[in-house]
Amino acid sequence: MNAFKKAVAAAVVAALVPAFAAAQEAPLKIGVVSFLSGAAAGPFGVPARNSAEIMFEMLNAGKVPAPYATKGFGGALLHMNLVDESGGTTTQVTEFRNMVQRDNVDMVIGYISSGSCLGIAPVAEELKKLTVFFDCGTPRIFEERGYKYVFRTAATATMDSVGAALYVRDLRKGKIKTIAGINQNYAWGQDSWSDFEASMKQLEPGVKVATSQMPKLFAGQYNAEISTVLAAKADVVHSSFWDGDLEALILQGGPRGLFKHRTVILTTGETAMYKLAGSIPDGVVIGARGPYGPYAPNNELNKWFSKTFQDRYGVPPNYAAYHMAQAILGTKAAWEKALAANGGKRPSQDQVIAAFEHLTFESPAGKVEMAIGAGHQAITETAYGVTRKVHGKMTVANVKRYPAEMVNPPDGVKAADWIASGFKKK
């Protein structure tokens, strides 16, 4: 390299160093929202919170494996502003406004409940604040309107429901005449059952609905609904129950024979499979809302994440923990893509948003594509299996995986329309 080229290279480095130094000196303040109290805290909110704490700590220390080995977000250290998701949608809207207007967070990553996400999305747009939903599943977020400032890095309930229908069809080899459901009576439960029912009717023409039970969210007692389902004698019973409701359903339904003489599919069952292993018999179909937990791939990120989580908290990470880690890593990938495009200077929010749209990034669960919702909604593959105890430990067997394009609608097509078309691609 001649003297002129050396001088140019030195000048470029000298110009970039202050920019990266400035990024390091100005931490990013990130609002993180998860259930810290109430029925959803133990099985969902606390594991997600624990995951966020690990990710913030390890990213700030530069101890996350490639391609996320840089400290923080491109050198900018991360500060967590933690908020409890409990209290209902009105409370969450107030808390969101406080984070943005009072606490001056740079972005928000959060929300488990579909009700929270439906309430927060238009407020995030109104306040023009980058908001990344890490878990909530209703497909309505990006089907009902478009958003500039809102992203979701986990797939929707459509993926869960279509994958569930495919799995039970394959498991029972087409011998399904009747189906039944027990789902919570709000967006998540309604959407989950609607997509599952429609998918089953596409895959098994002539299948009938024996009963569909829709109890109130967090009701806690389900003896009446269990009695109705048992009396219906359906071949397949579908439930998208989560949080304490899922645990209550397992504990109340098991002794009454809910899991006998029928195929029961729990689309979020992975969160309870270890804690309630003694109450879940072999043969129950278990979902993890994607390739998480026992369905996660054997990649370096997953080996690091699952070991780090297990070592610290004494339990394996469930899918809520994976979803939180995935959201943080996806946001980091978008931020650093924008940083590079901006010549190493701290990117603006609009630049991060532009980098996030249609982004493909790696996570402990493998590849994540921001492929639908005009580039704001993620799709992933999914997997299902059946419970089986081996030497007293709960595992999953007969695992089947379904590619992302097989269980998610094309961009711009509503889930219900896609299913009704026979799952046609554009």
Same domain? For 117 and 200 the reply is no
Quote the percentage of the chain above a pLDDT of 90: 89
3 state DSSP class of 318:
coil
Residue 308 has what DSSP assignment? H
Strand pairing report for 131-133 and 178-182: unpaired
Structural domain of 232: 158-290+381-420
Phi then psi for 389, rounded to 5 degrees?
-90, 130
3 state DSSP class of 307:
helix
CATH code: domain of residue 146: 3.40.50.2300
What is the dihedral angle through the alpha carbons of 119, 325, 32, 64, rounded to the nearest 10 degrees? -150
pLDDT the model gives residue 25: 64
CA contacts within 13 A on the Cβ side of 305 = 36
Same domain? For 152 and 163 the reply is no
Distances in Å between the Cα of 153 and the Cα atoms of 184, 361, 369 are: 23, 10, 8
Contact 189, 214 (CB under 8 A): yes
Q: How far apart, in whole angstroms, are the C-alpha atoms of residue 4 and residue 343?
A: 21
Same domain? For 19 and 100 the reply is yes
Q: Is the pLDDT of residue 20 over 60?
A: no
3 state DSSP class of 401:
strand
For residue 23, tell me if it sits in a domain.
yes
Render pLDDT for 51-101 as a digit per residue (tens, 0 to 9): 999 999 999 999 999 999 999 999 999 999 999 999 999 999 999 999 999
Contact 87, 115 (CB under 8 A): no
Same domain? For 77 and 41 the reply is yes
For residue 426, tell me if it sits in a domain.
no
The H or E element that residue 419 is part of is helix 415-420
Residue 49 has what DSSP assignment? H
Same domain? For 126 and 173 the reply is no
Same domain? For 346 and 396 the reply is no
Same domain? For 40 and 136 the reply is yes
For residue 19, tell me if it sits in a domain.
yes
Structure tokens that stand for 292 in this block? 């998480």
Contact 162, 407 (CB under 8 A): yes
Q: Is the pLDDT of residue 426 over 80?
A: no
Work out the average pLDDT over 18-47.
Answer: 82
Buried b (16+ CB within 10 A) or exposed e, 70-93: bbbbbbbbbebbebbbbeeeeebe
| Structural domain count of the chain | 2
Render pLDDT for 127-175 as a digit per residue (tens, 0 to 9): 999 999 999 999 999 999 999 999 999 999 999 999 999 999 999 997 9
